Amino acid sequence: MRLDSPQINLIIKACMKASRALIRDFGEIEKLQVSTKGPGDFVTSADRRTEKILIEELQKAHPDYGIISEEAGLINKSNINNRWIVDPIDGTMNFMNGIPQFAISVGYEEENEIKCGVIFNPIMNEMFCAEKGNGAFLNNSRIRVSNKKKIKDSLIVTGGPKSMSKIKGKIFSEYINVSKNVSNVRKFGSAALDMAYVACGRFDGYWQRELNYWDIAAGIIILKEAGGFVDFFEQDDSSPLKRNILATNSNIHNELKELIK
């Protein structure tokens, strides 16, 4: 792999370390699913444990860097020049049900621009990484988006609505409209992996409303470096960490955008 910034190396090291505990925790889930207590509290602590390892590793090298992390919130808030964006487990619902479709997602940004990122599914042993200007990789192989040109032939992925969403109706009608005009639609339950899968050509496009920035920060650079196109729509400027995303192989971008208008 030809990714060599100190930041990407640090993220990879932190992900590898955190993944060892996460793999062990995933192994426990099966037992908990059949117990009367269920896996609920255990999942929360697995999330926290993974986050703690990631943050400790990242802070060891750069105690001054800012961090936005799903569970811990904002750390070193005033440093926006160098900032890690962390989602310790993206795809918690899958994790909780013993489905190996979840990932650690860590991005790094400088002055609000994502410079590099890693999405790591430790169960499948698939590590997606990218660095600005140096391409995107899955383990040691270079990845590229698909070459699909027509929306009607495309396999699209989406997610949501969340159970608390106030715009469920809108999201469902969008889903119907897209479904009628593409080859098929999937819903896999990990925004980070959805982005990574578009980056390596498994899906041709992805859209989703009401995401948080940590769900997609690493995915943004991975997809761009793989030749894809990322766009945000109906951005609410009062909630900068909330995003509605449209991410594609670029060929089908405008057509998919038309379908979700």
Is residue 223 at the binding interface for ligand IPD, with CB under 6 A as the rule?
no
Residue 7, binding choice from ligand IPD, Ca ion, none, Cβ under 5 to 8 Å by partner class? none
Which residue in the set 25, 51, 57, 90 belongs to the binding site for Ca ion (CB under 5 A)?
90
- Given a contact cutoff of 8 angstroms between Cβ atoms, the answer to whether 194 and 206 are in contact is yes
Burial class (CB in 10 A: 0-12, 13-18, 19+), 144: middle
Subset of residues 191 to 210 that bind ligand IPD, contact rule: CB under 6 A: 191
Query: Which 8-state DSSP code applies to residue 176?
Result: H
Coil/strand/helix, residue 71: coil
Find the shortest distance in angstroms from Cβ 85 to ligand IPD.
13
Show the site string, 57-96: x = touches ligand IPD by CB under 6 A, - = not. ------------------------------x-xxxx----
Closest listed residue to residue 204, CA positions, set 227, 171, 221: 227
Find the shortest distance in angstroms from Cβ 162 to ligand IPD.
6
Is residue 131 at the binding interface for Ca ion, with CB under 5 A as the rule?
no
Q: How far is 61 from 75, CA to CA, in rounded Å? A: 15
Residue 248, binding choice from Ca ion, ligand IPD, none, Cβ under 5 to 8 Å by partner class? none
Which CB sits closer to Ca ion, 102 or 229? 102
Subset of residues 142 to 181 that bind ligand IPD, contact rule: CB under 6 A: 159-160, 162
Q: How far is 209 from 2, CA to CA, in rounded Å? A: 34
Is residue 227 at the binding interface for ligand IPD, with CB under 6 A as the rule?
no
* Half-sphere exposure of residue 145: CA atoms within 13 angstroms, side-chain side: 32
Which CB sits closer to ligand IPD, 92 or 249? 92
- Given a contact cutoff of 8 angstroms between Cβ atoms, the answer to whether 242 and 236 are in contact is yes
Is residue 194 at the binding interface for Ca ion, with CB under 5 A as the rule?
no
Candidate ranges 54-62, 77-85, 183-191, 226-234; the one touching ligand IPD (CB under 6 A): 183-191
Which CB sits closer to ligand IPD, 154 or 190? 190
Which residues lie closer than 8 Å to 150 by C-beta, 6 or more apart?
Answer: 252
Find the shortest distance in angstroms from Cβ 211 to ligand IPD.
5
Strand ranges, E, within 81-187: 83-90, 103-110, 113-121, 126-131, 136-138, 141-142, 155-158, 184-186
Two tokens, residue 110: 């400088």
Q: List residues binding Ca ion (CB under 5 A).
A: 70, 87, 89-90, 215
Q: List residues binding ligand IPD (CB under 6 A).
A: 87, 89-92, 159-160, 162, 189-191, 211, 215
